Structure 1
Amino acid sequence: MENVANTAAHTDQKQYQLPLAILTSLFFMWGFITCLNDILIPHLKAVFELSYFQAMTVNTAFFGAYAIVSYPAGAYVKKVGYQRGIVTGLTIAGVGCLMFYPAASTQVFGLFLLSLFVLAAGITVLQVSANPYVTRLGPVRTASSRLTLTQAFNSLGTTLAPFFGAAFIFSVATVASAELATMSAESVEAYKASQAASVQLPYIILATALFVLAIIFSRLNLPVIEEEQHDPELAKGGFKAALKHSHLLFGVIGIFVYVGGEVTIGSLLVNFFAEPSIAGLAEKEASALVSYYWGGAMVGRFVGAAVMTKVSPRAVLTFNALAVVVLVLTAMNTSGSTAMWAILAVGLFNSIMFPTIFSLAIERLGPLASVGSGLLCVAIFGGAVIPPIQGLIADLHGIQFSFILPVLCYIYIAWYGFSGSKLKD
């Protein structure tokens, strides 16, 4: 009987290998697309002569989709299944990418924002489908390791995206404001048109890749995983009951400020490096350096996973958050390479924060864990709220001082690791 059981387990594992291998491409794609915003924001800021506040509304459009689409996407995936949910998400994201073409042709900033919202809506459906699917494609005991592996490919996407963006989006040489002032109106108009058009090719390439993936996933014979049945009585007042657990409530706030802090730092790196007192880099050179920020997060994820087998996750979260506070304060109060490398090193310590906050927040929630997970996913909306606020501070007091906002975010995360995450009951 033992041999039969082992044979069955081996067969199941082999059955899941191909689906898991293909699913990693999805994690890579949405990491790649999300990180591309860090290149798009300074580009659109220059093309449309936006304030920092206006430029950071790119994040509002993108991450706002998480708050609006998450729950309808969950209901849709529950009805049609994981595989069809993945195909739908890929298709919607592809349409969003195609919308960049008319947005660039007409040079309407609002159309860029709409394109980003549609793109992010597709990615939200994709995440709602793929994350739980990965955890259930195999034994429960190895679910976290499977998700960690696929998340590593997500980090690979965020690391490579800045190089792609620098090569395509900043392919047209930037003209300084002083030089623009000496050009004729027709020359300025032609220059801005060429700058806007530089986003068309990269997003057409992304749209093509997404549509190809959608076709592949629609034709694959993937294992059908039945959705778990939940107690209907539990759903009644589930949110209210879940939020009575203080470690979850504080964790929702923690995810909100973490995503906001991480995204707003990444979004301002190109402009920060362009400051004469920091590095005075051109946009194309600065964009390539953004990969160090996200690459640090990829490396830190593996290091952190090893460290947390020996050290309490709460202690690691507290240490990392305090390290980020020190690094950001250093970037705010120094100049040159010291400030530049201090802000880039933040990525290394960011690495473990999202999964650690998430796991601490749903600890011992029992049957309320799924409700708690939903609340934590909606808290990603912090990426839509905090960046515009930092943009406003940058407009009023300068980009270097504006990093005081992420400092406050990470101080809260340090408190959550030290005290707020502790179980009260």
Structure 2
Amino acid sequence: MKSELNGTVSPPMEAQDMPVVSKENRVYFMLLVSCFALWGLLNNMTDNLVPSFAKIFMIKAVDSSLVQVAFYGAYAVLALPAAFIIKRYSYRVGVLVGLGFYMVGAFGYIPAALLQSYNLFLVSIFILAGGLSVLETTCNPFVLSLGAQETSVRRLNFAQAFNPLGSMAGLFLAKYVILAHLNPATLDDRLAMGASELAALRDSELFWVCVPYVGLILIAFVIWCVFFRSKLSDKDAADEMTVAEALKRLLSIPRYYCGVMAQFFYVGVQIAVWTWTIKYAMTNLHVIEAEAANFYIYSIFLFIGCRWLCTYLMKYITPAKMMAAFAAGGIVCSIGTVYLPIDVSIYTLIAISGCMSLMFPTIYGIALRGLGPEVKFGAAGLIMAILGGAIITPMMGGLVDNSTLAFLVSGFTPEETAIRSAFFLPAFCFAVVFAYALRFRHAQEES
């Protein structure tokens, strides 16, 4: 069989009948799945902090999006150190370190709320997200290693299918614990309040921001204890490949470094679209945060359903070709969200999430497939690409604040035009993913 770097050979037909996870690895697999669900929950709950902090601290959209800069910036900073940890020790140690960072960061929400400090919240979010970066750098390649290479992309998609289940839990926590306890007072109302009255209002709202994050510390500690007592370990932690050798190898593989670029733009579009979904619904449908969050929830339901469907269809359809079709759909839906009337565009907005469903694990699996000892540093590069969420999201916030592309849209109010025109940016991001999928549509993968 030819190397996937050189040829377009199809995988053996028996790959369709191989188990996604071997029997001896199922317990380990489910332990890792619990981490996938945890960071999914935290990712999506954090998306809702952007409109929440904008209201609580009375700041602009671009300033409130610093939440995403701190969150996804931590991914870029901590991913490479995580690679050194799992190379020097083991995947298991990586999980323990990641969960430890999360617990420290979540505890930081308490003094941030007591001091009503937005900057301290950003520091705590950075530490918390740093832990998630270590977890993702560790868990994704470990899942790839728990079985046959022919089923690696399917196995990662299967594990990642539990991630949006955690995301859904995070959405409900955000909707019913955080957003539901935001005072309906507008910016003008808050500006008219006295200092003591405004401080009391913020105390109440920030208390409910803290509740889910601090409460999850107990769950994280239970998972930490299970991993601490387990015998999980990777098979190649003692490899002698140096960092320079690993980077040289990775930079010689177009499928890998183009995958890092595609992952950057994919994560950027996912976080940006989900971050501004609530504002889009509020602006165009004239509803409050808690009601607008329903459309976010519908988006995640569709995301979950499509993720599970795509995981099944990968037995029969090449993942890269499927991703190209979904990326094309994402471009169409993004343009529809810009131009169509609200009774239609709200559905194209939701449909964007269905188009995104298979992209992260598919790009990840294609980019890392067939790598040897350098896979850990390769995984770190792909997790560092999550920096796209920290860059694309505030870029979209700037488009909203400044109405930069509003001249391309007409027939709506200025506020509606500002948020609608910002969705040209997701269309561009999908185009990058589409180009990557076409370039490597013949890469050797399971059918």
Question: What range is the shorter-chain TM-score in?
Answer: 0.7 to 0.9
Report the counterpart of residue 281 of structure 1 in structure 2. Answer: 287
Report the counterpart of residue 80 of structure 1 in structure 2. Answer: 89
The residue type equivalent to 1:91 in the other structure is: G
Contact 2:40 2:164 in 1 (8 A): yes
Note if 1:271 corresponds to 2:293. Answer: no
For residues 9-408 of structure 1, the aligned pairs below 5 Å read 16-137=25-146, 143-172=152-181, 173-218=183-228, 220-230=229-239, 232=241, 235-275=243-283, 278-362=284-368, 371-397=377-403, 398-408=418-428
Report the counterpart of residue 409 of structure 1 in structure 2. Answer: 429
The residue type equivalent to 2:68 in the other structure is: N
1:85 deviates by 2.5
Secondary structure of residue in 1 paired with 2:316: coil
Report the counterpart of residue 3 of structure 1 in structure 2. Answer: none
For normalisation by structure 1, the TM-score amounts to: 0.87
The residue type equivalent to 2:433 in the other structure is: I
Q: Hey, what's the Cα distance between the residues in 2 that align with 1:97 and 1:360?
A: 34
Contact 1:158 1:295 in 2 (8 A): no
Secondary structure of residue in 2 paired with 1:359: helix
For normalisation by structure 2, the TM-score amounts to: 0.83
Q: Hey, what's the Cα distance between the residues in 1 that align with 2:323 and 2:264?
A: 15
Gap change, CA 1:227 and 1:360, over 3 Å in 2: closer
Gap change, CA 1:355 and 1:13, over 3 Å in 2: closer
Q: Which is further off, 141-150 or 106-115? A: 141-150
The residue type equivalent to 2:358 in the other structure is: I
1:368 deviates by 5.7
Larger helix share, 1 or 2: 1
Q: Hey, what's the Cα distance between the residues in 1 that align with 2:433 and 2:140?
A: 24
1:345 deviates by 1.0
Gap change, CA 1:367 and 1:221, over 3 Å in 2: closer
**Any idea what the Cα deviations from partners look like across 1:136-180, whole Å, max 9, x if unmatched?**
445556555543332221110112211111111123232123443
Contact 2:154 2:311 in 1 (8 A): no
Secondary structure of residue in 1 paired with 2:93: helix
Q: Hey, what's the Cα distance between the residues in 2 that align with 1:413 and 1:140?
A: 23
1:27 deviates by 1.3
Secondary structure of residue in 2 paired with 1:250: helix
1:117 deviates by 0.7
Gap change, CA 1:290 and 1:407, over 3 Å in 2: same
Contact 1:37 1:267 in 2 (8 A): no
Q: Hey, what's the Cα distance between the residues in 2 that align with 1:417 and 1:150?
A: 21
1:181 deviates by 4.8
Q: Hey, what's the Cα distance between the residues in 2 that align with 1:167 and 1:207?
A: 19
Contact 1:163 1:288 in 2 (8 A): no
1:381 deviates by 1.3
Gap change, CA 1:46 and 1:27, over 3 Å in 2: same
Secondary structure of residue in 2 paired with 1:232: coil
Q: Hey, what's the Cα distance between the residues in 2 that align with 1:249 and 1:142?
A: 22
Q: Which is further off, 364-373 or 168-177? A: 364-373
The count of residues paired between Structure 1 and Structure 2 equals 409
Q: Hey, what's the Cα distance between the residues in 1 that align with 2:149 and 2:254?
A: 27
Contact 1:163 1:287 in 2 (8 A): no
Q: Hey, what's the Cα distance between the residues in 2 that align with 1:248 and 1:78?
A: 19
Contact 2:259 2:363 in 1 (8 A): yes
